[in-house]
Amino acid sequence: MTKVLYNHNIEEAVLQDKKIAVIGYGSQGHAHALNLKESGFDVVVGLRKGKSWDKAEEDGVEVNTVAEASKQADVVMVLLPDEYQPSIYKEHIEPNLESGNALVFAHGFNIHFSQIVPPSDVDVFLVAPKGPGHLVRRTFEDGAGVPALIGIYQDASGQAKDLALAYAKGVGGGRAGILETTFQEETETDLFGEQAVLCGGVTSLVKAGFETLTEAGYQPEVAYFECLHELKLIVDLLYEGGLEGMRYSISDTAQWGDFVSGPRIVDEDTKARMKDVLKDIQNGTFAQGWILENQANRPQFKAINARENQHQIETVGRELRELMPFVKQSKKKKDVIQNG
């Protein structure tokens, strides 16, 4: 098994005398800033004036502009939306990087696809918690943590790996396990996971199931419960005990149906198309499309999003969830499994 590192394997002294700038205070940013601060590190958050700035001040963390925070810091963690990172980096971060500083990311996209090209005299590494930011914070407060990946792209100081481990420990990753990866592996597996399985695969599967039932004349409310609501219960079992643990809890009839019908839904053709999706990620086709879409101000993204929100599973679901106050909407709509 690959070596997994935990808190007792990690010496954090290397980061103790350094100032850390956390750029952005969204899903990941607030979690990193608060967890690092409570782990005893010197943190400044870099932002523009606005909602996040006010929230960071309310939470009692030091806030400054992106340029000023980057200037003060030895370690600059970039937790802005991936699409905006290249331009903000060029204008506000790069001019304030000094030789020997560290530039850190939570996702490898912009480095791997060369949208950000850092100077050669800084460390560049990755600390990527494998979970949504709000869970990175909540689990930390509970004394637990979310597993984290680290990866070294550039080791100018000779200390990049020690810094990455100390940072990952500071955000709580060392309580759940830290694994070493590369920017390439993190970027490609993260994009594939969210496209084929976690987000794209699941939403398409749920919609197809819901449509199959409603088109056959069954009530949309029943179809909603069956194909969407219950998914959480199944996923919790998978999370706790893998496939076997889940199958232990369901009825034998459900398990037999799983065995005989599952492979009829996701078959060799589906897997061949997964391989196509992976190829488009590996050869840069997906990245190019997403970069161009952003340059054009997201015409397709907005059109598809508006259409998806009008799907019957959404209109029915909104009404049903209103009647189930215990089904809490996450504080931030996007804080679902956005990244594995």
Q: Which of 16, 40, 51, 330 binds ligand NDP (CB under 6 A)?
A: 51
Question: Of the ranges 52-60, 119-127, 182-190, 208-216, which one interacts with Mg ion (CB under 5 A)?
Answer: 182-190
Among 22, 34, 66, 69, binds ligand NDP (CB under 6 A): 66
Point out the catalytic residue in the list 107, 112, 134, 229. 107
27-38 and 51-58 helices cross at what angle (nearest 10)? Answer: 20
Q: How far is CA 249 from CA 28, 88, 99, 238, in A?
A: 34, 49, 56, 10
How far does the chain reach from its first CA to its final CA, in angstroms? 20
Asked if 107 is an active-site residue, the reply is yes
Cβ 137 vs Cβ 35: under 8 Å: yes
Comparing CA positions, the residue from 254, 252, 214, 212 lying closest to residue 230 is 254
Q: How far is CA 174 from the centre of its chain?
A: 18
Q: Is 188 near ligand NDP (CB under 6 A)?
A: no
Among 64, 93, 72, 79, which residue's Cα sits nearest to residue 19?
Answer: 72
Number of neighbouring beta carbons within 10 Å of residue 55:
17
Give the nearest residue (CB) to ligand NDP. 26
**Minimum distance, C-beta of residue 75 to Mg ion, in the bound complex (Å):** 22
The reply on whether position 190 binds Mg ion by CB under 5 A is: yes
Determine, following the binding rule CB under 6 A, whether residue 118 of this chain makes contact with ligand NDP: no
* Pairs from 222-229 (Cβ < 8 Å, separation ≥ 24): 223/313, 224/313, 224/316, 224/317, 224/320, 225/320, 227/313, 228/313, 228/317, 229/320
Q: Which of 10, 43, 86, 107 binds ligand NDP (CB under 6 A)?
A: 107
Is 25 annotated as a binding-site member? Answer: yes
Distances (CA, A) of 97 to 105, 128, 164: 15, 21, 18
- Give the x-and-dash track for 135-174 against Mg ion (CB under 5 A): ----------------------------------------
Candidate residues 10, 15, 25, 71; the one interacting with ligand NDP per rule CB under 6 A: 25
DSSP 285-335: HHHHHHHHHHHTT-HHHHHHHHHHHTSHHHHHHHHHHHT-TTSPPPSSTT-
> With respect to ligand NDP, which residue has the nearer C-beta, 27 or 101?
27
- Smallest separation (angstroms) from Mg ion to the CB of 228: 13
Q: Kindly indicate which of the ranges 25-33, 95-103, 153-161, 220-228 contains the residues binding ligand NDP, using the contact rule CB under 6 A.
A: 25-33
Residue 28 labelled as part of a binding site:
yes
Please give the Cα distance from 322 to 103 (Å, whole number).
Answer: 44
Residue 262 binds ligand NDP (CB under 6 A): no
| Interface with ligand NDP (CB under 6 A), residue from 1, 8, 13, 50 | 50
Q: Which residues are annotated as a binding site for Mg(2+)?
A: 190, 194, 226, 230
Residues that bind Mg ion in the complex, under the rule CB under 5 A: 190, 339
Residues that bind ligand NDP in the complex, under the rule CB under 6 A: 24-29, 47-48, 50-52, 66, 79-82, 84, 88, 106-107, 128-129, 132-133, 338-339
